[in-house]
Amino acid sequence: MALNADTLERLVPDEIKGGEHTGQETLDLHLERYRFAARSARPGRVLDLACGVGYGTRILSDHGAGVVSALGVDISADAVAYASQRYANERTSYRHGDALTFADADGFDTVVSLETVEHVPDPSLLVERLIALLKPGGVFISSVPTTPSVDMNPHHLHDFTPRSFRRMLASKGLREIDAFEQVQKVNPIAVASRSESRMKSMRQNLVGYYATHPNAFFRRIGATLRHGFCNKYLTVVGEKA
């Protein structure tokens, strides 16, 4: 299995290096996010879309009250193979698939997609498709960074604020019933020197990127002045009518 754990886009708990902001600290944030999602899940079927290596899907299965099955779906066949070997059980399964084309005839009571919508060209379309997989009265649980990330992470295509993220979810008919905010302190020296293994996948030639994307530079300056050196994240639980 060609899983590269030394990238910002892949968290493999068994290979995490301790003492790094992008290692154990980032994993802890993801685990907290999934535990929050498990507490918010509705009884019945759960879909974890863009599940990565599958640890979060297992949390949803093990800790979601009344969850009868949890299905993790990811675009990486290697991640799905790893998840199936490491985390699958009688109530937890995994499938290779694309978030934008995945279909299911029976529908889900809970759809979870954490740190996903900022990756796709059209976040609004993705959210619409995932909500369509929900049964009436089901919940959609999703999270995004709410401080700038596009400048640092070349895999991110959109920056969100709490307001813009909530507005997008509300525009799809979701009623917010809960939310969870997280803050991760950032060591600017470690970022500048890329001293952590997972930082090596950060955007190269950041000065050149800012020169051609001045708005991204000003967003970064504004966020740093307002929040300091940190990353902020928002997870929202929205109920489908």
> In this predicted structure, what is the pLDDT of residue 186?
86
The residue that leads in pLDDT, 22 or 106, is: 106
Distance CA 154, CA 129 (A): 24
Residue 4: pLDDT band (50, 70, 90) is low
Question: Is residue 169 a contact partner of residue 176, using CB atoms and an 8 Å limit?
Answer: yes
> In this predicted structure, what is the pLDDT of residue 1?
47
Q: Using the predicted structure, report yes or no on whether residue 2 has a pLDDT greater than 60.
A: no
Q: In whole angstroms, how far apart are CA 101 and each of 133, 172, 181, 241?
A: 11, 18, 30, 23
The residue that leads in pLDDT, 11 or 228, is: 228
Q: Which residues pair with 237 in a beta bridge?
A: 141, 178
Kindly give the pairing relationship between strand 134-145 and strand 92-96. unpaired
For 79-90, the pLDDT digits (tens) are 999 999 999 999
Burial class of residue 232, CB neighbours in 10 A (0-12, 13-18, 19+): middle
Nearest alpha carbon to residue 57 among 91, 24, 29, 99: 91
Residues in contact with 124: Cβ distance below 8 Å, sequence separation at least 6, in sequence order: 168, 171, 172
- Calculate mean pLDDT across residues 27-41: 96
The residue that leads in pLDDT, 7 or 137, is: 137
Q: Using the predicted structure, report yes or no on whether residue 128 has a pLDDT greater than 80.
A: yes
Q: Using the predicted structure, report yes or no on whether residue 22 has a pLDDT greater than 70.
A: no
Structural domains in the chain, sorted by start: 16-147+157-185+232-240 (3.40.50.150)
Q: In whole angstroms, how far apart are CA 33 and each of 121, 143, 232?
A: 24, 8, 13
Nearest alpha carbon to residue 141 among 126, 156, 155, 131: 131
CA 172: distance to chain centroid?
19
